[in-house]
Amino acid sequence: MKRGENMNFAEGLLVAANGIIVVFIVLISLCLVVKIISLVVGAIPDKEKQTTENNVQPVSTVSNVSVPQPERDIKSQGDVILKGVDDETAAAIMAAVSETARKNGENPKFKSIKKID
Amino acid sequence: MSLFNTIADIFSQSGYVQITWQQAVMILLSFVLIYLAIVKKFEPLLLLPIAFGMLLRNIPITGIMDGPSNGQAGGLLYYLYQGVKLGIYPSLIFLGVGAMTDFGPLLSRPTSLFLGAAAQFGIYVAFLFAILIGMPENLAAAIGIIGGADGPTAIYVTSKLAPEYLGPIAIAAYSYMALIPMIQPPIMRLLTTKKERAIKMEMGRKVSKKEKIIFPIAVTVLTSLLLPSVAPLLGMLMLGNLFRECGVVERLSDTAQNALCNIVTIFLGITVGATAAGETFLKLQTIEIICLGLFAFAFSTVGGLLLGKLMCFLSKGKINPLIGSAGVSAVPMAARVSQVEGLKANPSNYLLMHAMGPNVAGVIGSAVAAGVFLVIFG
């Protein structure tokens, strides 16, 4: 088909049908590719995740070593000592620090969280 | 020579005397577009430069869009326009779009790609209708692409297939993208029941970083091998996305998303506007193009919604058909419209993330549809 020609309706219908079929075939293929990628990636053990899981224990181990006795204004939450900090704030701080530290390849170990006025 | 004669000479050679009625109308039209961009905030980032380009082009004698002749350099906009003519700006805009796009919602629910395909339906309906009313097939294809709701793709295809119609097609494409919140909701309400619109969807799975990195590479290879003509568009889109997802080139990602995208938007807007010369723009065919563009847009919405309804039925009510209309690729406006309509039917219904999947799939879908036209008519 040359540019600038006037095609008849039947030819146009054929082009339109071919077009929409090709669009569907390409996007269905991509859908399959996405599924394959997710299967393959899911099957490969995630080193980063494993490292993180392995490092969960050291947090408590380290914290168990020399935990000072809680003072009057000190609360203990699990093995982490909270000084003037409520549970929710402590959880948010630990989550934020863990996220940042993991990006830098570090493994955070929490001993205590203290409020500084 | 008297002062009076000098002033009369200057006036007789000025644009005030040489302006044609078509140029005057186009200047007035550019004022309307500037008003819509600044006061009504209709796609101002693009509409404002487009309107100003139109204004500059239609001021007589400036030669701002004239090519070089008799050893004289051409006008400023002539040189800037080469970026449109050679398909450089749309591809660079896609680089920025890719860097801004999160394909996570698409990867978490890959069936979104079906909706992105169905929402290209309007492209072919408008193409057929244009053929039916006797338009040449290259122009019909360029008009049809308006239904993809993707400005850069529409400009890319038109610059290759029907460059003389770039002005009306680009203006129609961007105008309809700006008018999505007005065009889509009546169609969405007409084709869906309140019960369907109120469906709350479950969150998709978490997508790993590896998947997000592999996806743009896989799409580039697969689609460029099949449709090499759209490799510049899809390749740039996926490169931008790889910049974003790989996490090691944050400066490049930032530049693609902000500085580069903004610079190219200025050049693209002003030069597309400058193609709208009064003599070529003010024709009956422009009105036909604008009407067919609306037709394309509406049928793309219908296509997405109908497949959304089918998926709703097949999934036993787990998929809200409203996300189908987001398959037109105006990112993220179409997804926002799905969210707003979902909220109206059910105040605790948040469809935005679910609609982003078909929305970004639509970007790929419209580029593929463009590639098909370029293969056939290019």
d(CA B284, CA A63) in angstroms, rounded, equals 80
Residue B148 · residue B366 · CB < 8 Å: yes
* Cβ neighbours of B227 in A, within 8 Å: 26
Q: What is the pLDDT of residues A7-53, one digit of tens each?
A: 889 999 999 999 999 999 999 999 999 999 999 998 887 665 566 65
- B222 vs A8, A9, A33: nearest CB: A33
d(CA B219, CA B365) in angstroms, rounded, equals 12
- B138 vs A4, A9, A41: nearest CB: A4
d(CA A81, CA A112) in angstroms, rounded, equals 4
Q: Is B217 on the interface with A (CB under 8 A)?
A: no
Do the Cβ atoms of B372 and A29 come within 8 Å? no
Q: What are the C-alpha distances in Å from B58 to residues A24, B12, B265?
A: 43, 18, 21
Q: What is the pLDDT of residues B98-141, one digit of tens each?
A: 999 999 999 999 999 999 999 999 999 999 999 999 999 999 99
Does the N-terminal peptide bond of residue B332 adopt cis geometry, omega within 30 degrees of 0?
yes
Do the Cβ atoms of B137 and A1 come within 8 Å? yes
CA angle B54, B60, B66 (to 5 degrees): 75
> In this model, does residue B143 exceed pLDDT 80?
yes
What per-residue confidence (pLDDT) applies to A66? Answer: 42
CA angle B375, B331, B49 (to 5 degrees): 85
Side chain identity at residue B12, one-letter code:
S
What per-residue confidence (pLDDT) applies to B246? Answer: 95
Side chain identity at residue A43, one-letter code:
A
Q: From the CA of B327, how many Å to the nearest CA of chain A?
A: 12
Neighbours of B303 (CB within 10 A): 26
**What sign does the CA torsion over B152, B158, B163, B164 have?**
negative
ipTM over 0.85: yes
* Cβ neighbours of B124 in A, within 8 Å: 16-17, 19-20
What per-residue confidence (pLDDT) applies to B313? Answer: 95
d(CA B101, CA B257) in angstroms, rounded, equals 10
- A19 vs B113, B222, B369: nearest CB: B369
Confidence band for A67, pLDDT divided at 50, 70 and 90: very low
Of the candidate ranges A112-116, B51-55, B68-72, B188-192, the one whose mean pLDDT is the lowest: A112-116
d(CA B237, CA B63) in angstroms, rounded, equals 35
What per-residue confidence (pLDDT) applies to B369? Answer: 95
> In this model, does residue A101 exceed pLDDT 80?
no
Identify the residue among A34, A38, A46 best suited for mutation to test binding to B, counting B beta carbons within 10 A and taking the highest.
Answer: A34
Identify the residue among B107, B205, B210, B241 best suited for mutation to test binding to A, counting A beta carbons within 10 A and taking the highest.
Answer: B210
- Rg of chain B over Cα atoms, rounded to whole angstroms, equals 22
Identify the residue among B131, B234, B374 best suited for mutation to test binding to A, counting A beta carbons within 10 A and taking the highest.
Answer: B131
Neighbours of B282 (CB within 10 A): 18
Q: Is B363 on the interface with A (CB under 8 A)?
A: no
Please report the number of interchain residue pairs, chain A to chain B, with beta-carbon separation below 8 angstroms: 117
> Judged by CB atoms within 8 Å, which residues 110-139 of B form the interface with A?
110-111, 113-114, 116-117, 120-121, 123-125, 127-128, 131-132, 134-138
Do the Cβ atoms of B377 and A3 come within 8 Å? yes
Side chain identity at residue A84, one-letter code:
G
d(CA B367, CA B185) in angstroms, rounded, equals 25
Q: What is the mean pLDDT of chain A?
A: 74
Q: From the CA of B174, how many Å to the nearest CA of chain A?
A: 23
Q: What is the pLDDT of residues B45-75, one digit of tens each?
A: 888 999 999 999 999 988 899 999 988 899 9
Q: What are the C-alpha distances in Å from B66 to residues B74, B159, B274, B367?
A: 5, 18, 11, 31
> In this model, does residue A59 exceed pLDDT 50?
no
Q: Is B34 on the interface with A (CB under 8 A)?
A: no
d(CA B106, CA B109) in angstroms, rounded, equals 5
DSSP state of A84: S
d(CA A30, CA B106) in angstroms, rounded, equals 11
- B376 vs A1, A33, A38: nearest CB: A1
Q: What are the C-alpha distances in Å from B39 to residues A78, B34, B35, B48?
A: 58, 8, 5, 11
* Cβ neighbours of A20 in B, within 8 Å: 117, 120-121, 124
- Do strands A80-83 and A74-77 pair parallel, antiparallel, or not at all (unpaired)? antiparallel
For B92-151, the DSSP string reads: HHHHHHHHH---HHHHHSTTHHHHHHHTTHHHHHHHHHHHHTT--HHHHHHHHGGGGT-H
What per-residue confidence (pLDDT) applies to A100? Answer: 75
Do the Cβ atoms of B136 and A4 come within 8 Å? yes
Q: What are the C-alpha distances in Å from B217 to residues A33, B93, B237, B251?
A: 11, 19, 11, 20
Do the Cβ atoms of A26 and B377 come within 8 Å? no
* Cβ neighbours of B136 in A, within 8 Å: 3-6
- Do strands A80-83 and A112-114 pair parallel, antiparallel, or not at all (unpaired)? parallel
d(CA B282, CA B121) in angstroms, rounded, equals 29
Side chain identity at residue B194, one-letter code:
K
> In this model, does residue A71 exceed pLDDT 60?
no
What per-residue confidence (pLDDT) applies to A33? Answer: 94
What per-residue confidence (pLDDT) applies to B344? Answer: 93
> Judged by CB atoms within 8 Å, which residues 241-280 of B form the interface with A?
none
